Amino acid sequence: MKRTYGALLGACATVAFASAAYAETITIATVNNGDMIRMQGLTDNFTAKTGHEVEWVTLEENVLRQRVTTDISTKGGAFDIMTIGMYETPIWGANGWLVPLDDLSEEYDVDDILPAMAGGLSHDGTLYAAPFYGESSMIMYRTDLMEKAGLEMPEAPTWSFIREAAAAMTDRENDINGICLRGKAGWGEGGAFITAMSNSFGARWFDMDWNAQFDTQPWKDTLEFYVGMMNESGPAGYATNGFNENLSLFQQGKCGMWIDATVAASFVTNPNDSTVADSVGFALAPDTGLGKRSNWLWAWALAIPAGSQKEDAAKQFIEWATSKDYIELVAENEGWANVPPGARTSLYENPNYMEVPFAQMTLDSILSADPNNSTVEESPYVGVQFAAIPEFAGIATEVSQEFSAVYAGQQSVDEALEKAQAITNDAMEAAGYR
């Protein structure tokens, strides 16, 4: 009996030693939004399953983009997993900078990923990043303030209605702004919003010969409308407001309307965080009657930089964090309204989730965004709120800085558009497009 018990102890020790030997510590760079922070709180579940530990580097959106771009382009090796999106993934995959995710397990069910998300995170049919969540953008609005203004939100409103409603809901004495929108510099912050908005006004970044289009009437119309509306009905200092700043304002009851990422719906309707959770409605992003709405298409996704020494552990984490089981885990702990949306077809077939008030509007918004046909006039690029070329991030960051200077009252619309035209054409000529 003693010999058997001793042998058992030895076997257990061997297993424990083997598990410890194969356990890794992986480092993940991610954005500081609510869904990613929630995931960090659930990471013990992953560690318990695999033995792998996780170290998080959580960064503001603009800083994250800069850090991961620098790290992967210089082969810095600081991260085993990066949180990136639909802009970076196909470009970096084509460059050989990312590990292909073409061997995920059958249980993971890669075919369940929404086609719009899988397509945007692939190059030549190979998936290079797995979507943690997918999003478009839509209108979130205060139903009580809309009713008080004597207006009714259409399911598919125009920009002229939104401006009228924003003015009617603005109450400066009570610190209520009719509308909150991104103005913060950065191609993925205010730059993403104004580009998506410009699509609905008939603007585009480039014509078919890659000539910049900021000297056209649609861009002037877009900026003048935006600035006029925000000066009338937006918050003070909107030139420095991005996603997180506007989320905070809305949750505090200081915004009548907010047009931004569909993923924000779970935060503004969460009574633990939002003072207006019981009076939020949703509608499609506005248009001007030209056939294009002003909603974007995006996924925050997890990818592994090529050359990672911890590829197996990183893939295990990606499978865990973007799986159906993870969605169930969040639902169990936080409720169905707080699961990561927009990534999997099965989520929108789940009767529990379809009872969530913003689920259908999120799906409708995602399905209405077409990155292959995002502008009124024909354009040479793929992308809704970006042009999927390597040079775009640098160009658009500079252009967004010029636009933010307009919002801050530091220059005119005409001055900013003239500078944007020169910045863009000079960069495209240097890159050999023109």
Rounded distance, CA 166 to CA 149, Å? 10
Give pLDDT, residue 307: 86
Q: Determine the pLDDT at residue 18.
A: 35
pLDDT computed for residue 19 by the predictor: 43
372 contact partners, CB below 8 Å, separation of at least 6: 382
Segments of the chain scoring below 50 in pLDDT: 1-21
The predicted structure's pLDDT at residue 9? 40
Q: Which residues contact 275 (CB under 8 A, 6 or more apart)?
A: 251, 252, 253
Report CA 428 to chain centroid distance, whole Å.
26
Structure-token pair, residue 305: 């930089």
Please state, in angstroms and rounded to a whole number, the distance separating the CA atoms of residues 127 and 264.
Answer: 26
Residue 273 exposed, middle or buried by CB count within 10 Å (0-12, 13-18, 19+): middle
Q: Residue 258 and residue 141: Cα distance in Å, rounded?
A: 6
Please write the tens of the pLDDT for every residue from 221-233: 999 999 999 999 9
* CB-CB contact of 77 with 71 (8 Å): yes
